[in-house]
Amino acid sequence: MEQTFIMIKPDGVQRGLVGEIIGRFEKKGFTLKGLKLITVDRPFAEKHYADLSAKPFFNGLVEYIISGPVVAMVWEGKNVVTTGRKIIGATNPAELAPGTIRGDYAIDIGRNVIHGSDAVESARKEIALWFPEGIAEWKSSLHPWIY
């Protein structure tokens, strides 16, 4: 079953949006497989965002991510990578749709509350980076069409 890495960024934690964000993924029907509150250091944040290291906003982005605790999560379910990105909403604030997490709670691209993997392959890498200890092995005992 497909998995994605979702991170509630420091602004999301400090604004008290953790419960709201987890609720959106739970109510959609996805399964929570990993969850921890963690403050990461600069080398770790630089590794997570290595693909963006040439961007002019890279240093500011790293400062933002290390500024306080984040909630790192693994969610599982059918098409969870793509659907997770839809639940999160667009990166560009001008394209933000109401009803998405960023559309409802974010204004600024540099304080956009949440991260979600953009592809199955990046999800695999990000889960390995953030959860080197591994994640929970459990299956819902509900009917199989309830993910």
Catalytic residue among 115, 123, 130, 131: 115
Is 111 annotated as contributing to ligand binding? Answer: no
- Whose Cβ is closer to ligand RTP: residue 37's or residue 136's? 37
Active site residue 48: no
Instruction: State the Cα–Cα distance between residues 87 and 137, nearest whole angstrom.
Output: 25
Cβ neighbors of 23 (< 8 A, separation 6 or more) are: none
Query: What tokens appear for 114 in the block?
Result: 């949440």
> Least Å distance between CB 126 and ligand RTP?
9
Subset of 102-131 contacting ligand RTP (CB under 6 A): 109-110, 112, 115-116, 118
- Whose Cβ is closer to ligand RTP: residue 62's or residue 137's? 62
Subset of 2-31 contacting ligand RTP (CB under 6 A): none
Q: Does 61 bind ligand RTP (CB under 6 A)?
A: yes
Is 5 annotated as contributing to ligand binding? Answer: no
Is 112 annotated as contributing to ligand binding? Answer: yes
Is 28 annotated as contributing to ligand binding? Answer: no
Q: Does 138 bind ligand RTP (CB under 6 A)?
A: no
Instruction: State the Cα–Cα distance between residues 146 and 80, nearest whole angstrom.
Output: 14
Residues that bind ligand RTP (CB under 6 A): 52, 57, 61, 91, 109-110, 112, 115-116, 118
Q: Which residues sit in the known binding site for ATP?
A: 9, 57, 85, 91, 102, 112
Point out the residues that are catalytic.
115
